Structure 1
């Protein structure tokens, strides 16, 4: 099966088109980079991958290898076919945006995943009317006994990957999260690039 390898630049986004049956491997190249991930149905961008619906359909807080990711109309869009990481991903946190960084004390513009999604889609000629809740690949958000949430460090290692296979024609968008204030991207708080490998 032919493979195309491409980079998700540090603090930037990347969008790819997948036909039904094609797949994309998302590689945590340096081991601590969170990759926000969205998927939109090719024929209707208002029909998109939904974490709240995926949690209900799978009965899990985060998807496991072999499980399906569902849309806001409860239809399959991607299958998490492989996962060589410890399987810790986040389905609770909204994509970081300019307001998130303002709340963290930034007084100037900070790169963010919401804008990365918009820019990556624009680069392939598309525009969605919203930024849905992403699947935050490799993000570690422990739920504590008192139900509080911790901004944890990733538990992945360099080269860990997930393989997402398209259940339908779709557009998949990735953001190498720019977070450098909390330890979301590791103790060093330094965003890095990640890679995608398209299996056509």
Structure 2
């Protein structure tokens, strides 16, 4: 299984790292090629809007659009390669206790949430604030991969939000194949049934056995 196999690298093993992201905010974690990224829901109903930025080229980022085309699918499944805007693999999805994720919808903005009667900061503003905190300039903020969000696509092309069934402890784990900075927003999505912000944990490790719990 891919997650069990750590690609050959010329670096020393790195210690495991865990970052908790409170509901309604954004947090980040940096990974090196060969490490595992785990994203875990800490509260029922959490949605983790995932962004990824290359550590080597500011013009390269995780791209949900290219991932759909590369895989010829709008459904994220085990073994699927998530690619960047140059159609190069960024990571591969391995263990997944949920099996329902969104590759269609953009990140929320504060203005959009206000127009829908929600309070709080949008995903776009939260991610930009995290980039500012890191002193990082990105020429473009791409659309995210919305982990744990559940929507369906009807035959006529209509997108129908479905009830979020994520429970605390649900998680996805990916093997990263490029040096990347990942940012996750846990802000309100404004999407019915998936609009309750929930905390998540971001973890990096060399092997599955290195993760706590």
TM score, norm. by length of structure 1: 0.88
Instruction: Check if 1:99 corresponds to 2:124.
Output: no
In structure 1, the partner of 2:178 is: 168
Match of 2:101 among 78, 89, 95: 89
Q: Deviations over 1:145-188 (max 9, x none)?
A: 43211222213222110012211111111011324673214xxx
How many matched pairs? 193
Q: Distance in 2 between matches of 1:182 and 1:63?
A: 20
Q: Distance in 2 between matches of 1:22 and 1:110?
A: 33
Moved over 4 A (4+): none
Q: Distance in 2 between matches of 1:181 and 1:53?
A: 23
8 A Cα contact 2:49 2:107, kept in partner: yes
Query: Within 5 Å, which residues of 2 pair with 1:185-200?
Result: 185=195, 190-200=196-206
Bigger drift between 70-79 and 2-11 goes to: 2-11
Structure 2 stretches lacking a partner, 5+ long: 1-13, 207-213
Instruction: Check if 1:70 corresponds to 2:83.
Output: yes
Q: Distance in 1 between matches of 2:100 and 2:187?
A: 16
Query: Within 5 Å, which residues of 2 pair with 1:18-167?
Result: 18-85=31-98, 87-105=99-117, 110-167=120-177
TM score, norm. by length of structure 2: 0.83
SS of residue in 2 equivalent to 1:62? coil
Counterparts in 2 of 1:180 and 1:38: CA distance versus 1, 3 Å: closer
8 A Cα contact 2:102 2:146, kept in partner: yes
8 A Cα contact 1:62 1:89, kept in partner: yes
8 A Cα contact 2:103 2:146, kept in partner: yes
Q: Distance in 2 between matches of 1:164 and 1:138?
A: 14
SS of residue in 1 equivalent to 2:159? coil
Structure 1 stretches lacking a partner, 5+ long: none
SS of residue in 2 equivalent to 1:94? coil
Q: Distance in 2 between matches of 1:152 and 1:117?
A: 25
Aligned residues: CA RMSD: 1.9
